[in-house]
Structure 1
Amino acid sequence: MEHKTLLLNQSDINSLITMKDIVEIVDKTFVGFGEGTTINPTKVNLDLGETASYPDYHGFMNAMPAYIGWEDIAGIKWAGGFLGKRREMGLPYVTAMILLIDPTIGEFKCVMDGALITNLRTGAQAAVAAKYMFPNKKEISIGLYGAGMQGHMQTLAFAELFDIKELRVYDLYPAAAEKFKEDMKDAVKGDIIVCSDPKDASIGDVVVGFTQSKDKYIKDEWIKPGQIVFPMGSYTECEDALLLNADKIIVDHVGQCMHRGALHDVVADGKLKEEDIYATIGDVAVGRKPTDAANERIICVPIGTGAMDIAVAGIVYKRALEKGLGGTFEFL
C-alpha cells in the first residue's frame, strides 16, 4: 500500500474548481448538516493578538475539523487572518492550509492551500442560505457593505443562483467601491449603485455586511420586513437592537455563532441565549424549520464552518487525482 500524500498549491486548486461548483458543494453540505451526516465540532480559536493583548501579532488562527458524509472524507483546516506585520509585508489577510484524511484508516490523503477555498466557500454561504429562504425568487436586490475580496465573492455566488436586479455597495474607501462596480459589471444584470451614505446601501432583499468594522453600523430602523441581513464579518456589524428585534435569527453553527461574530456582544451581555436561535441553515435546507422571509426581518449568520472547506477540498482532491495535478510526498 502506498503512503503518498498529494500536495496541491493555490494555482492547482484554482484550475480545478469554479464558483458554480462551490455553490453546489456548499448546498449539499448544508443539507448534510440538516440530515446529520455533516459532522462539525466547534472551531478552536488561537488568539494571537486579534483581540488579546498578548502576543501582540494582530492575528488569530482557527482549527476547524469536519467529516462530510456525502463525500466520506474528513479533514481539518488550520486558518486565520493577520493585520500586523503580515499586512505590512503586502501578504493577503487570510492564511490557511487544509489536511484531508481517509476516515476509515486515518491516512493523510492530501495537504493543500486553504486560502482560496476559504474565500470561495465564504462567498457562497449567504447565497445558498438565501436560496432556501427565498425559494420562489429568481431576481434579487442586494445591499452590500464592503467592496473587498469578499464583496466580490459574495456577488459572484449570488449571481450563480439569482439574477441581481440591483446592487447597492458602500465602502469606507470610495475608490474600492468604484473598482468593485467595474469588476462586477458582467456578473450583475441590473444596476450597481455606489453609495456615499451607509444608510443608502441598506435597501435590498438581502443586506450583506463583510467588513472589519466594530461600529455596529447596520441600524435596526433601516431594516424592513422582507429583508434578510447577513452580517458576515468577524465583529458585530449590526447594532444590538436589530439583533434583538429580528423576527428570526438563523445561523450555520449554533456553538460557534454564540461566541464570535455578529452575536458575540449580545450573548456576552446575557441579552441573547441559545434558545433564541430559531434554526440553523441546515434545518431550513431540509424543511425542518420553515421561514416567511417575504414578511419577516431575518438575521442570518453563516459564520463559517470547517465542513464547507473540507467538502470543497474533497472535490478538489478527487479532480486533482483524475487530472494528475500536484506533487506527492511520502511522510511514512
Structure 2
Amino acid sequence: MAEPPVIIWEHEVGRLLQYRDLIPRLEDALGKFSKRDSAEVIQPVRTAVPMQKHNGFMGLMPTYMENDGVLTTKFVCFYKREHGSSLPAVQATVVLLDPEYGNVKAVMDGEVITAMRTAAVSAISAKLLMRPGAEVLAILGTGKQALSHYNVFTEMFSFKEVRVWSRTRQGVEKFLHSVGGFAKGCGSVEEAVRGADVIVTVTGSTEPVLCGQWVKPGAHVAAVGACRPDWRELDNVLMREAVVYADSREGAMAESGDIILSGAEVFAELGDVINGTKAAHREKTTVFKSLGMGVEDAVSAKLVFDQWTAQAHKL
C-alpha cells in the first residue's frame, strides 16, 4: 500500500534546497534534455490556460525522467499586476508522483523551487557564456526572482559591483535593505547597464526595457521575464545583434515574445553547450532566454524530497 503524500511547505523547501546541490543536478538535466533521448526526458511545451478576468494564466508543466525515476508536474499561475499591487505575480505548486504506481508522493510549495531553479539556470548560462573576469552585474527588477538571482550570482561569482534598477524607488530601497548593502541602486535602466558585464532582466514588463545600444559589446544577458508570445523585455537591436541561447528551443519559439517578435534565431540550447555540440560564444554579446522548464522543477522537487526523506529517517 502506498504511503500517504507528504506536504512540504515553503519554509521547509527553502531550508532543504541549496544552490551547491542544485546546480550540478540542473546542469546534468539540461544536458539530458538537449540530447532529445526520449527515454531520458519527456517534457511537452508548457500548456497555458488563460484567466482573462484576473489578467493572468495558469501554466501546466509535466515532466517524466525515465532513467531517473522522476514524474512531476508544476501548476504555476502568472499575473500581470498593476504597479504597486500587493497581490503576487506568480504562485506555484509542484506535485511529485511515483512513476510506477501513479500515486502522489509529495505536494510542495513551488515558489522557492521556481525562484531558485530559475536563478540557478541563469547562473549556469553566465558560467558558460560570460567573458572571463566579469566585474559588473546589473539586475533589472527587484522582486523574488531578482533576489534569488542576486543570491546565486554573488555566491557563484566575484563581482566587484552590483547595480539594481526598478520602476519604483521603493522597490530599489526594499531590495537593497534585503541584501544588506552590497549593491547600488540606479535611477534608470541605462545607468544600471552601461558598462555591465552581465545583465539580468527579471521584470514584469510587456514592452522592451533594455536597449541594445546601452549594452556593452561582449556582455551576457540573462532574460527571465516576458514569458508570453506578446511580452518583451529586450529590444530588436539587442535580439538581432546577440547570439541567442535558450533553455528549450521549442519553448522559446512558442512562448518568448523577445524571440518571436524580433525574428531572432536561437543559436543553441544551454544543454547543447553543456554537451559540447554547440559553441559558447564568450567573445560576442550573448542572450540567454529563460522560459523555465519542467525538467528543472523535476530535478529540484526530487532533491527536496530526497533531503526531506533523509532527514525524516534520522528522527
Deviates more, 1:19-28 or 1:227-236: 19-28
Tell me the residue number matched to 2:172.
177
Tell me the residue number matched to 1:200.
191
Matched, 1:25 2:20: no
For residues 70 and 211 of structure 1, do their structure 2 counterparts lie closer, same or farther at Cα, with a shift above 3 Å needed? farther
Residue 132 of structure 2 aligns to a residue whose secondary structure is coil
User: Residue 297 of structure 1: which of 279, 285, 288 is its match?
Assistant: 285
Tell me the residue number matched to 2:92.
96
Tell me the residue number matched to 1:152.
147
Residue 46 of structure 1 deviates from its aligned partner by 0.7
Alpha carbons 1:233, 1:262 under 8 Å: kept: no
Matched AA of 2:120: A
Give, in whole Å, the separation in 1 of the partners of 2:132 and 2:151: 17
Tell me the residue number matched to 2:266.
277
Matched, 1:162 2:157: yes
Matched, 1:212 2:204: yes
Give, in whole Å, the separation in 2 of the partners of 1:140 and 1:259: 34
For residues 25 and 209 of structure 1, do their structure 2 counterparts lie closer, same or farther at Cα, with a shift above 3 Å needed? same
User: Residue 235 of structure 2: which of 235, 239, 245 is its match?
Assistant: 239
Tell me the residue number matched to 1:61.
58
For residues 106 and 31 of structure 1, do their structure 2 counterparts lie closer, same or farther at Cα, with a shift above 3 Å needed? same
Per-residue CA deviation, residues 247-299 of structure 1 (Å, 9 max, x unaligned), is: x11000112111323435426xxx34xxx211001001122111221x21111
Matched AA of 1:97: T
Residue 256 of structure 1 aligns to a residue whose secondary structure is helix
Alpha carbons 1:170, 1:197 under 8 Å: kept: yes
Give, in whole Å, the separation in 1 of the partners of 2:306 and 2:274: 26
Matched, 1:75 2:78: no
Aligned-CA RMSD value: 2.4
Residue 323 of structure 1 deviates from its aligned partner by 1.9
Give, in whole Å, the separation in 2 of the partners of 1:18 and 1:141: 25
Residue 13 of structure 2 aligns to a residue whose secondary structure is helix
Per-residue CA deviation, residues 120-175 of structure 1 (Å, 9 max, x unaligned), is: 212212111111224x7365421111122111111111122211211111111122
Residue 308 of structure 1 deviates from its aligned partner by 0.8
Give, in whole Å, the separation in 1 of the partners of 2:309 and 2:99: 18
Matched AA of 1:120: M
Alpha carbons 1:140, 1:162 under 8 Å: kept: no
Residue 16 of structure 2 aligns to a residue whose secondary structure is coil
Alpha carbons 2:9, 2:109 under 8 Å: kept: yes
Residue 20 of structure 1 aligns to a residue whose secondary structure is helix
Count of aligned pairs between the two proteins: 304
Give, in whole Å, the separation in 2 of the partners of 1:84 and 1:161: 32
Tell me the residue number matched to 1:312.
300
Matched AA of 1:156: N
Gaps of 5+ in 1: 50-55, 326-332
Give, in whole Å, the separation in 2 of the partners of 1:221 and 1:83: 28
Matched AA of 2:261: V
Alpha carbons 1:68, 1:311 under 8 Å: kept: no
Matched AA of 2:29: T
For residues 138 and 32 of structure 1, do their structure 2 counterparts lie closer, same or farther at Cα, with a shift above 3 Å needed? farther
User: Residue 141 of structure 1: which of 136, 141, 145 is its match?
Assistant: 136
What TM-score results when the alignment is normalised by the length of structure 2? 0.88
Which structure 2 residues correspond to residues 251-290 of structure 1 after superposition, within 5 A?
Answer: 251-263=246-258, 265-266=260-261, 271-272=263-264, 276-290=265-279
Tell me the residue number matched to 1:48.
51
Give, in whole Å, the separation in 2 of the partners of 1:264 and 1:128: 21
Alpha carbons 2:129, 2:286 under 8 Å: kept: no
Matched AA of 1:194: G
What TM-score results when the alignment is normalised by the length of structure 1? 0.83
Give, in whole Å, the separation in 2 of the partners of 1:59 and 1:146: 19
Alpha carbons 2:27, 2:271 under 8 Å: kept: no
Tell me the residue number matched to 2:6.
6
Tell me the residue number matched to 2:221.
229
Residue 217 of structure 2 aligns to a residue whose secondary structure is coil
For residues 7 and 129 of structure 1, do their structure 2 counterparts lie closer, same or farther at Cα, with a shift above 3 Å needed? same
Residue 69 of structure 1 deviates from its aligned partner by 5.5
Alpha carbons 1:229, 1:300 under 8 Å: kept: yes
For residues 266 and 83 of structure 1, do their structure 2 counterparts lie closer, same or farther at Cα, with a shift above 3 Å needed? closer
